Amino acid sequence: MLHPSDPRLDEILDQLGPLFQENRLEEAEALCLEAIGILENLTQAHPDDHGLRSLLASMHYNRGNACSSTRRLDEAEAEFRTALAIQEQLVREDPANAEYRNHQARSHFNLGNVYLDGDRWTEAEPNFLLAQALWIELAEADPSNAEYHHEIARSCFNLAYIRSVPGREDEAIASYRQAQTTWRDLIEVQGEQIQWVYDLARAHFNLGALYQKLDRLREAEGEWLQAAPLFDNLARAHPDAGAFVRDAIQAQDRLIDLFREQRRVEPFLRLLDESARMREETARARGDLPGLLHAMTMTFIDAATWLADQVQRPAEAEATYRRAIDYARRLAGHQASPETLQLLAAVLFDHGSLCRMTDCLDAAEESLRRAADIWERLHASLPHLPQHASWLAGAHNNLGILYANTGRPDRAETAYHRALGIREGRARAAPKDLDNLLYLAGTCCNLGNLAVDRGEPAIALEWFDRSIGMLKEVLKGRPDDATARQFLDNARDGRARAEAMPPSPGLPIAGSATVLARPPGPPPVLVGSPDQHGGTCPGLDDYRAGRYR
């Protein structure tokens, strides 16, 4: 009990701790202000009472923390400076009192954080250095006090953060290394404490980010490989601690991005699986499984596209597409909507297209058929939306290519005419839709190739001429369209093959089967040309490591 005491002050002191712990900052700040008023009166009446003056400094310090947390930096700075003035005087009067010096160090440290938040880095660094020097003196006098060593490491961490600028990277690296060594020594001597392990992991993570910025990727990888299991162990032991899980995932993401950049497929896939496991466990605990399923669908689509297009690993790409299909299927099961069904169909389409190009023909047919079935249902229920019809036409066109390449010309013709009817309907409804015209021309070219394979040059020439005419129309509106030029080359090559064939009896081509007009949307991922594959999806989020408070 303080002497002299005040009953109301005692009540405030009992209430403040829980309020700050529960982050009820507005209530805590109000009590700090009330306590400051009481203590100012008491210290005026008892100016030689060091305990009252130290408590007054602590109330200013606590209010400074509340102001800093609510981004009122000018007020926070004023409070920390007021606390420092009192604490410095107490240290002068009682230099052997370790508590006063420790409080002084804390005020310098938090004032440095206020300057960092206000982008006043040149003012922040001296305060961190002053705090560090005070804690070093305290640790030398009391080497068994773990708190002092921990605070020294924290000041090293923040100094490293400040020094991670061009020209000072070596200083930053040394500061991160000193912080790591201090925390590692604490853990070895006194056993694992959650905060120390977490801080050590963050120091490894941030140093890895600095090495990456310096293009020292091997060293960056080494730091992240040390950070990731530390974060992971914390996340497993404390699944309700969001920061541990978040940082574990971010460390994995940095390594995933690094392995991808270096085209190291095996560690990339291994860590991608581990990240997916952790994300799903977290989502289940938080009750946000649908959000997770959508995010992981997109992540695995992106990974599969990279594996197929950038590193030419079709087997791994196919397996990764299957993971994306599984996530999309589960998402549609949780939240059946046009959006989730569209996503499932799109992943199936990409998977089917890849399988068709890599001669996994049974898997290709299955996925393309499933995609077409979904788009058929979506178009039937939402006929006013053009995108479902466009994708449906693309699926039938790809099925036609598949059937043609596997010796099933009749089924190929049926599939091509299904695509043709959809796109002709759109052409009648929206004749200026050049995307639709482009892929309509592609289907005509495919029908021409089918006629050539059947030995029907006259029919083939009609299809090729029709395709060439439409492609010229597309190029009038979009002269730089590379896909249109590729399709035009294909159609002209096909026409040349047809002209070189001996004439044969046959019937002229008829119009396509009667199909309801179906407006298209975005072009399918692959249509008309086997070497066009799916586009990319959003990549993994970047993360900027923070600093200590």
Computed from CA positions of residues 320, 323, 329, 334, in that sequence, does the dihedral angle turn out positive or negative? negative
Angle at 21 between CA 19 and CA 24, to 5 degrees: 40
Strand, coil or helix: 336? coil
According to DSSP, residue 501 is labeled S
pLDDT of residue 505: 55
Q: Confirm if 400 and 492 have CB atoms less than 8 A apart.
A: no
Question: How far apart (Å, rounded) are the C-alpha atoms in residues 57 and 90?
Answer: 10
pLDDT of residue 153: 97
The separation between CA 116 and the C-alpha centre of its own chain, rounded to angstroms, equals 26
Question: How far apart (Å, rounded) are the C-alpha atoms in residues 341 and 345?
Answer: 6
Question: How far apart (Å, rounded) are the C-alpha atoms in residues 128 and 112?
Answer: 6
Q: Confirm if 375 and 421 have CB atoms less than 8 A apart.
A: no
Q: What is the pLDDT along the chain (549 residues), one digit of tens a residue?
A: 445 678 888 899 898 889 988 889 899 889 999 899 999 899 998 999 999 999 999 999 999 999 999 999 999 999 999 999 999 999 999 999 999 999 999 999 999 999 999 999 999 999 999 999 999 999 999 999 999 999 999 999 999 999 999 999 999 999 999 999 999 999 999 988 999 999 999 999 999 999 999 999 999 999 999 999 999 999 888 887 888 988 999 999 999 999 999 999 999 999 999 999 888 888 887 777 888 899 999 999 999 999 999 999 999 999 999 999 999 999 999 999 999 999 999 999 999 999 999 999 999 999 999 999 999 999 999 988 888 999 999 999 999 999 999 999 999 999 999 999 999 999 999 999 999 999 999 999 999 999 999 999 999 999 999 999 999 999 999 999 999 999 999 999 999 999 999 876 544 443 332 222 223 333 333 333 322 333 322 222 222 222 333
Question: How far apart (Å, rounded) are the C-alpha atoms in residues 245 and 233?
Answer: 10
Token pair of 421, please? Answer: 């009817």
Question: How far apart (Å, rounded) are the C-alpha atoms in residues 173 and 14?
Answer: 43
Angle at 330 between CA 329 and CA 335, to 5 degrees: 100
Token pair of 64, please? Answer: 């400074």
Beta strands in 39-103 (DSSP E): none
Question: How far apart (Å, rounded) are the C-alpha atoms in residues 549 and 198?
Answer: 14
Token pair of 2, please? Answer: 């303080």
Question: How far apart (Å, rounded) are the C-alpha atoms in residues 75 and 265?
Answer: 52
pTM (predicted TM-score)? 0.76
Computed from CA positions of residues 18, 22, 23, 25, in that sequence, does the dihedral angle turn out positive or negative? negative
Question: How far apart (Å, rounded) are the C-alpha atoms in residues 369 and 372?
Answer: 5
Strand, coil or helix: 237? helix
pLDDT of residue 484: 96
* Phi, psi values for residue 490, rounded to 5°: -60, -45
Return the closest-CA partner of residue 182 out of 162, 160, 164, 167.
160
pLDDT of residue 134: 97
